[in-house]
Amino acid sequence: SDDYAEALKQPVDAATPAHALPENWWTWPTALGKKDSDLEVTKRQWGAFYGTDLELQLRRRGIDTIILCGISTNIGVESTARNAWELGFNLIIAEDACSAASSEQHQSSMMHIFPRIGRVRSVEDILNAL
């Protein structure tokens, strides 16, 4: 939720940075469009599978490959990618449709993590392959 009410609150050494997300982060971008048939999953934690029925919804539809993009490369995207890989899904990560707080954080995931659990491609390459 927009107020993080359901966020886990274990003791940590580094708190979430203040203003880590833009003010309108909870609002669906109208430019993306939305159809009644679209599946909407509300993330409850860093990864999209935690506390959601995402796996069930994908399997019901026979989906075995996930194209991932988003913010933040080394947190939300990487957590979702690792969970998806552990659940046996094929992964394609859209390198130029992800971002992180720094180039170093983004590149670390793209160069060291994602190639071991999926395929890293540009949006153009992904669209051309569809």
Q: Residue 3: what pLDDT?
A: 65
**Residue 95 main-chain phi, psi, to 5 deg:** -55, -45
Provide the residue ranges of all domains of the chain, joining segments of one domain with +: 36-129
Top-confidence residue, 126 or 34: 126
Report the pLDDT averaged over residues 100-114.
95
Closest CA to 79 of 113, 108, 122: 113
| CB of 78 closer than 8 Å to CB of 49 | no
Q: Residue 14: what pLDDT?
A: 79
Q: Where are the beta strands (DSSP E) in 1-130?
A: 65-71, 90-99, 119-121
Q: Residue 32: what pLDDT?
A: 81
Q: Provide CATH code, domain 36-129.
A: 3.40.50.850
HSE-CB of 13 using CA atoms within 13 angstroms: 0
Q: What is the residue type of 76?
A: G
| Separation of alpha carbons 88 and 84, rounded Å | 6
Task: Give the helix ranges, DSSP H, for 1-130.
Answer: 54-60, 78-86, 103-108, 114-117, 123-129
Report the pLDDT averaged over residues 119-130.
97
Structure tokens, 1: 């939720």
Q: Residue 34: what pLDDT?
A: 86
Output the furthest CA–CA distance in the chain (Å, rounded). 45
Q: 36-95: per-residue pLDDT in tens?
A: 888 888 888 889 999 999 999 999 999 999 999 998 899 999 999 999 999 999 999 999
Report the pLDDT averaged over residues 96-125.
96
Residue 2 — pLDDT band, cuts 50, 70, 90? low
Q: Residue 25: what pLDDT?
A: 66
